[in-house]
Each structure stands twice: as structure tokens, then as C-alpha cells.
Chain A
Amino acid sequence: MSENEQTTIEHSPGFWSQAWSRYKRRKLAMVALLFIVFLSGVAVFSPMIAGTKPIICKYKGSIYFPCMGYYYSGWENPIFQKDKFRRVYPRNLKQKDPDSWAIWPLVYQDPYRPVRANEWGLGEDGNPYDAQGSPSSLNLFGTYKTGFDIFASMVHGTRIALLVGFVSTGLSALIGICIGAIAGYIGGWVDITLSRFIEVVMCVPSLVLILALLAVVESPNIFHVMAVLGLTGWTGMARLTRAEFLKLRESEFVAAARCLGARPTRIMFRHILPNSLAPVLVPIAFGIAAAILVEAALSLLGFGISPPNPSWGTVLNSGREKLQSGYWWQLLFPGIAIFLTVLAYNLIGEGLQESTDPRLADPRD
């Protein structure tokens, strides 16, 4: 074949690019997707949005990135500890090195401690608390506990909220698709056994299991919660995948692949799986939303992530405790954030459903 002919080979959009173009036409689903992308951006860049550690600073002739300490405490240069900054940068930088300069996060507030008075050395006020801690220009979403800034806590809590959804649902998708595929493809006794196993797991209430685990584990953290959510939440996806595999196993293109002598693994992964993935994608989106809700519920009950770490549920929990005092900002802002995120994932799930289901396809396609 000549060079010339090779260049004229026509490409056409595959299933997923067509689904994407259908998805793009759904305005609400697109808005939801952009919102999640925005939240991911907030989660990744949270120390640059809200924090009391400079993004970048020059101190005693060297450049440092103290804000990295929010990702992992070891990434904050120990020189600041040695020079007794005591986590307060603005005043100390000026006092200890007059030639220093720094670029500050957008909002000077910290999720791990309240901002105290005179941190800039200008005699300014610290964070108010209790009834005085209502939203103001200093504390955009108000404060909770003893003057912790809600905005900063929520910005830094975004990471947990998104991570819980992704990790636990990713884990359950992996388990669910594998078990469903094996049960559906092999059938017979394997299917019967696995299906009964799925039903047993379905009967285990994940919230109770998490509470039991948190009581047993020595120092429970958010990853234990993710693991339990992942290990209990795969049943729906397993059943869907099993149903798809059962259906497609008998289809003619699978018979054709068997005629060709394709091995079972090839038939499972190259022929059946790509055709059965679209229906499983929808529960993944809904699963993320459910996981976020469970994490918030756990934090609300006080069993979630340990207090110095910020999360939306923790703020909500303190609002619940102070409900009678009428600190509405402690409930409203994290509530709205959880509501919008869960709504966005549900809209994405719905958009996926409609853009991957050929029966609902737009006649223009």
C-alpha cells in the first residue's frame, strides 16, 4: 500500500467520543461536571486559596515554599521551626529578616487553628467566635469552635470530600466489575455462589460496619472509612456487570469471537467488558455522591475524621451542637457544599446514563 493511500484512511468517532459529544449537549450535566472540575481545582490548590503559610517566600537569602506543609508536614522547611516561628509567619518574617518577602494565599485563614490578634504585627483583631463569629469580611463563612475559620476549613475539607468519593467508589467499581464479570461469564455454580455472596454483602449495613471498625482500629483515619465504604459498596455494580455479561455472553459477536478461537480472557475484556461498561458508569457517579454523604454523616455523628483535620462534616457537626444558639452559618455553608456536590454527581450520573444509552440517543446522532 502506498504512502498516499495510508493517509486517506478515514477515522470516525468511537463510542466514547460520541457519548462525550452527546454529553456536551446536556447543559445541566456539563455545569455539574464543571463544578466538580472546579472543586477538584480547589482541593488541589487549597493551601494557595486559604492558609497562613506563604505560598512562596524569601527568607535569609533562600526561597521556601511553606504552604507545602499543608499537604504533608515534612514538606515545610524545618528552618521555620528552628527560628521559633510558632506557625505565625507574617510578623516573624518581618522581625527576623527585614529583607524577606512573601506571596500569601488569597485568604489569610487557617483550617487548623484560629487566627489570633496581631499576627501581622499591626495590632489587628484575631478571629471572633461564638455569636460574634458570623460571616464578615475577615471570616467569609464565619467561624466555628474557638474561632476556626469555616471558609478555610471547607476549602481544605474539599480534598477529603472528593477523595472519599473517588477512592471508595474506585475500589468498589474494581471489585464489583471483577466479581460481576466472573459470575456472569462463567455462570453455573460459580454464578450461584458469587450471587449469594453478593447478597450477603448487601445485607451488611456499611454505616454500622464502619462504626464497629472505628471502635476496633487503634487510630482510625479517613482511609479506614474509604476502605469499608469500598468493600461494602460494590454489590450494585457487581449485579449490573453480571447482568450485562449474562446478556452479552449469548450475543452473536461473542459467538463469533469463540468461533475465531479467542480465549475466555480475551472475550471477557475485549468483547464483553467495553460493551458493558456504560451501564456501570452511572452507579459509579451515584456511588461517589453516596460516599460523600456517608463521610459527612460520620463526621456529623462525630465518628469521622479526627478533629484537627478539616472536613465539611466536622463543621456541620459543630453547627449541630450549637443549633440552639442559632449559629446558622455553621450549618448553612457546609450544608450547601455537600448538597451541591452530591447534586452535581447525580446530574453527572444522569447525563452519563442518557449519553451512553443508545435508546435515549438524540435522533441527530
Chain B
Amino acid sequence: MIRILVQAALAVTLLACASAGAHDLSAGDANYVEQLRGSAPGTFAYLGAKHMFTGYDHLLFLTGVLFFLYRGRDILLYVTLFTLGHSVTLMAGVALNWQVNAHLIDAIIGLSIVYKAFENMGGFRRLLGRNPDTRIAVLVFGLCHGLGLATRIQAYAPRGEGLATNLISFNLGVELGQIAALGIILMMLLAWRRQPAFNGQAFAANTVLMCAGFTLTGYQLAGFVFA
């Protein structure tokens, strides 16, 4: 138990160290995007993919969702639900000019990681006697993730001319980035699951995931208070 905790602490510290600012558009990207006028599909698709691929909160949530998914059909279903969720709020959020505090959204995304880890640990089955419908949870968290994306992209996307093209490109990029990340996570999970020790380590791994989720939540709430 102690060894697991030490490993967990190390893993999350590494994550936290890598975290500073990794989520937002980097300063160079932001400068460039602010200068853009009109449609720039390539730029926005790339930024969408980069956001997903370097956004450790998205990656952690994906890891939680994929952890116990074995069948290709299930993986496709959950990824589609998540995509549907964040596409809806990304498009609607920008179209209706919603401004949600990015720190609060990211705190909810942190909690979504805690939620998925708790479910993977068998917590809900123990607590409620059954698992809440994961499909609904994944859809709802997809909606939240999309709100975060919408708030960010509005800070940079020039309004008016080219907005629709830029948004669709960004969303497409998010999908591409997600598929790329998904492939790598799935490959590692497949290799891990074949190990006889997997079942014993799964509980500890999800405890680590949960700790990361709590850490992200606290970090973002602090950002809401201090920043």
C-alpha cells in the first residue's frame, strides 16, 4: 500500500510539473492566431489537435474511459458520445457567445476524472449497488469539455469572416488529436492488460488517476480564486 502511494505521488508530481500552462494556447501560438484575419483552416485544425494531444486533463479522462473497455464497438460508442457532447457545446458556445470561466470548467473536467476513476474502482457499484449509466456520464462530460474549448477558442478566433470555417477546422483538429491520443493510450492499455498483474494493479492505477483528478480540480479552483 505504501509503495503504491509513493508511486502515485511521484506520478502525479511529474504530471503537475509538466502541467504549468500546457493546457492553454502557448504564447507564441496565441500571438500568431491574434494576427489572423478570415479563415485559416490549417492553423485552427492544428491548434485543435495540439490542444487535445497536449491537454493532459483530456488524456487522463480518456484513459479513465478506456480503462475497462475491451470491445471495439464500445470504444467507438463512448468516443462518439464524447465527441458529440463537446462538438455541441463548442459550436453552440461560440455561436451564442457564451463566456464561462475557464477555471471553473477545468475544475469540472478534473472532477470528471475523479468520477471515472471512482467508477473504475468499483465505487458506484459498492455505493449505489449499480453503475450509473456511463453513456450519459460520458456525454455530459463531453458537453463540459466542449464548453471549456468554446471559452478558449473565443479568446483567439476573430469573429465574423471565416469564423465557421475556423470553428469546424478546430473541431476536426480536436477529433484528429483525440484519435492520435486514443491510439497511444489504447496500445499501452492493451499491453498492460495482457500482464497477469493487471487486475491487481488496476485499483491502484485508478487511485492514482483519482488523485490526479483531485489535484487538477484544486489547481483550477485556486486559479479561479487567485487569478
| Real binding pair | no
